[in-house]
A and B are shown apart, each in its own frame.
Chain A
């Protein structure tokens, strides 16, 4: 069975610091997808990124970057120069290629202090 682990329950940093959110997954599938979502206090789930298992190229989008390491089954998320608006709960999720449902990690509550 698939499993997603976000070991960091809560992180608190001061604005402008860089912060990395860890995500480790377990699967026997050879093809799969990994996701990151942001959940601000309002409760909606905002899609950030999707990564395919066959594409290990890291991705950067503005202040956000993602490091996918298949050898360590990790898909970590880094926010550079954090801002107060980045405060939210962040979820890492997994889906097997033949499956439809997402398996979520427990989430990391990120607080950016001014």
Chain B
């Protein structure tokens, strides 16, 4: 398995502000993924982040709202911009090794 470190682990933010979540992997990976888990719901993929190219966003998610950086093969950030209470969720990053996918511990975001 691999170690994926995500921070912050939780935050409470004011509406209208932005939060950047960091994800660090302990080995190089080609693709990293960002998921959102709204309260009591399943996980939904926000985007796939490849190193050296623009992230690929899933339907319903846009770059202006969720800009992603992928500066190297072990690190990625997700920014939740201009937050509203509807953005309150757990955000998880993930990376794939072979056929296995591993996840960070998640960032529990509450927007007030």
Residues on A lying within 8 angstroms of B by beta carbon are 33, 35, 37, 42-45, 47, 50, 52, 91, 95, 100-102, 104-107
Contact = CB atoms under 8 A, between A and B. Distances in A.
Interface of B: 1, 31, 33, 41-45, 48, 58, 90, 92, 94, 96, 99-106, 108
B51 to A, nearest CB: 14
A52 B41 CA distance: 26
Contact of A43 (B31, B42, B101, B106): B106
B104 A102 contact: no
Contacts of A33: 99
Contacts, number: 49
18 contacts: A35-B101, A37-B103, A42-B105, A43-B105, A43-B106, A44-B103, A44-B106, A47-B100, A47-B101, A95-B101, A100-B31, A100-B96, A101-B45, A102-B43, A102-B45, A102-B94, A106-B42, A107-B42
B42 A47 contact: no
A42 B92 CA distance: 13
Given A91-B43, A102-B45, A50 B31 contact: no
Most buried by B among A50, A95, A104, A105: A104
Nearest to B2: A47
Contacts of B104: 44
In the A-B complex, the 8 residue pairs with the smallest Cβ-Cβ separation, listed nearest first, are A45-B103, A44-B105, A43-B106, A104-B42, A104-B43, A106-B42, A101-B45, A43-B90
Given A100-B96, A106-B42, A47 B105 contact: no
Contact of A47 (B33, B41, B43, B102): B102
Contacts of A102: 33, 43, 45, 94, 101
Nearest to A51: B99
A101 B1 CA distance: 18
A52 B42 CA distance: 23
Contacts of B100: 47, 50
Contacts of A50: 99-100
Contacts of B45: 101-102
